[in-house]
Amino acid sequence: MKNLIKILFIVSFIVGCENTSTSENDESKVKNEVLVLGAIHGGHLTDSVYNTAYLTKLVKEIKPDIILTEIPPDRFEEAVRGFKRDDSISEPRVMRFPEYVDVIFPLTKEMDFEIIPTAGWTRPMALARQQKLRAISQDSSRTEDWNAYRAANQLSDSLYRATGKVNDPYFIHTDRYDSIQDVALQVYNKLFNVELGLGGWENINIAHYWNIEKALEKHRYEGKRILITYGAGHKGWFLRELRKRDDIKLLEMKPFLDAIQ
C-alpha cells in the first residue's frame, strides 16, 4: 500500500511539473500584433485627407514587420522585378493599387518589412464574374434580383454619405463602417455568391483569407507586427475571422491615426 502511495505521488509530481512547464511555455510565447488597414484604392489619389501621403505616414507610424497585401501571388515577382529595374510598378494588376505603387513598395527603400502577396484573385475568375454579372443584369427573369442588388448598393451608399465621413480614415476603421458596407455586400452575397463561383463575395474572401491564414500560421508566435492591407470592404469579413484566433493580438487603428495628426 505504501509503495502504491509512493508511486501515485511520484506520478502526480511528474504530471504537475509537465503542466507547469507547458503553462510556462505558453506564457513565453509572444503573440503577433495584427492590424487591418482598409484601403480606398484609387481614392487615395484624389482624397484630400486619406491620400498616399497620409498612408505613407500611417505605415511609418505602424512600423510593420510584415505586410500582407491584396496582390495575387502569381503577380508579385513581376511587380518586384519591375520595381527593382525601373523604380516603379508596371505589373498591370498591382498598378491598380496606389497603396502599393506609391506607398508600400517605395517604403521598402527606408523600412525593413516583408511584403507577402495574399490575394485570392485571378484574372480568369474576374473575367468570369464580370460576364456572369452582365448576363444577370440583362436577364429579364432576374430583374427582381438585380433590382434588389442595386437597391442595396444605393442604400449602403446613402447611409455612408449620411455619416458625413466618406473616406474618413477614422470612420473607415470602425465597426460602424463595416456594418454599412454589409448592407450592400450581404445582399450581393446572398443573391449571387453561389452563381458567381470563385468570384462570389464569400468565396473570394475565403480565398483571400486562406492565404492570409497561411502567412499567420507560418509566422505564428514570432512577436511581430503584421499589417493586412486590403480594400476597406473586405475589412469586416477579415476581422470576424481574425477575432476567432487566440494566437494574435488585434490592434485598433485609432492610436496610429492619432499619432500622425
Give the pLDDT of residue 27.
58
232-258 pLDDT, tens digit each: 999 999 999 999 999 999 999 999 999
- Asked whether residue 259 carries a pLDDT value surpassing 90, the answer given is yes
74-102 pLDDT, tens digit each: 999 999 999 999 999 999 999 999 999 99
Query: In terms of domains, do 45 and 66 share one?
Result: yes
Query: In terms of domains, do 72 and 113 share one?
Result: yes
Range of the domain at 134: 31-261
Question: Whole-prediction pTM value?
Answer: 0.89
Contacts of 160 (CB under 8 A, 6+ apart): 166, 177, 180, 181
42-79 pLDDT, tens digit each: 999 999 999 999 999 999 999 999 999 999 999 999 99
Give the pLDDT of residue 25.
54
Query: In terms of domains, do 16 and 52 share one?
Result: no
For residue 28, what pLDDT band results from cuts at 50, 70 and 90?
confident
Query: In terms of domains, do 23 and 142 share one?
Result: no
Give the pLDDT of residue 23.
43
Query: In terms of domains, do 192 and 243 share one?
Result: yes
Query: In terms of domains, do 8 and 45 share one?
Result: no
Work out the burial of residue 7: count CB atoms within 10 Å of its CB; fewer than 13 is exposed, 13-18 middle, 19 or more buried.
exposed
* Helix and strand numbers, DSSP H then E, in the chain: 12, 5
- Asked whether residue 182 carries a pLDDT value surpassing 90, the answer given is yes
134-154 pLDDT, tens digit each: 999 999 999 999 999 999 999
Nearest to 70 by CA among 249, 238, 241, 220: 238
- Percent of the chain residues past pLDDT 70, beyond the cut: 90
Query: In terms of domains, do 172 and 148 share one?
Result: yes
Average pLDDT over residues 183-190: 98
Longest dimension (CA), the chain: 87
Query: In terms of domains, do 171 and 71 share one?
Result: yes
Q: Partners of 225 in the beta sheet?
A: 33
Query: In terms of domains, do 209 and 150 share one?
Result: yes
Number of domains in the chain: 2
Instruction: Give the helix/strand (H/E) hosting 38.
Output: strand 32-39
